[in-house]
Amino acid sequence: MLGFTLFTFENALEGSFGTIIMIFLSGNFAFSCIGIFVGSRASNSQVGNGLINAVTFPMMTLSGVFFSYQNFPEIVLPIIKNLPLTLMADSLRAVFIEGAGFISVIPAVITLFIYGIVFLFAGNKIFRWS
């Protein structure tokens, strides 16, 4: 998809390709582990679909992917800025558009890995075979 975007729309990648790969890997790890956590609580696939929608829809709405989160009240901005999707989207935006280096996105990458580790262990702890 990245290659398609770069060649089709003739966009110049301002930052490092390696930095983008690291952001993708940390984001995919975090979101996979969130899925494991949510799936470990579901009794069947219908419940699982509802639970994952309950987790992802607020994240998609608040994260700044579709519209800016800067217009939300100041009291909720610290929460929004630390959502996994916001961290990933802001990091990718910084690398693609502003040419940010790996050093500037390290906090977001580490936070995404921490989210992944926490949700992986929590999902492992509450998972029950039935």
Domain boundaries, the chain: 16-126
pLDDT at 24 over 80: yes
Give me the mean pLDDT over the 4-33 stretch: 85
* Contacts made by residues 89-96, CB under 8 angstroms, sequence distance 24+: 89/63, 89/64, 89/65, 90/64, 91/23, 92/20, 92/23, 94/15, 95/14, 95/15, 95/16, 95/19, 95/20, 95/23, 96/11, 96/13, 96/14, 96/15, 96/20
The answer to whether 80 and 59 are in contact (CB under 8 A) is no
pLDDT at 15: 77
Q: So what's the pLDDT on residue 43?
A: 82
Q: How many CB atoms lie within 10 A of CB 42?
A: 14
* pLDDT value of position 130: 66
Q: Which tokens go with 76?
A: 């909720």
Average pLDDT over residues 11-37: 90
**Would you state the pLDDT for residue 44?**
84
Q: Which two tokens stand for residue 33?
A: 């582990």
Q: What percent of the chain has pLDDT over 90?
A: 55
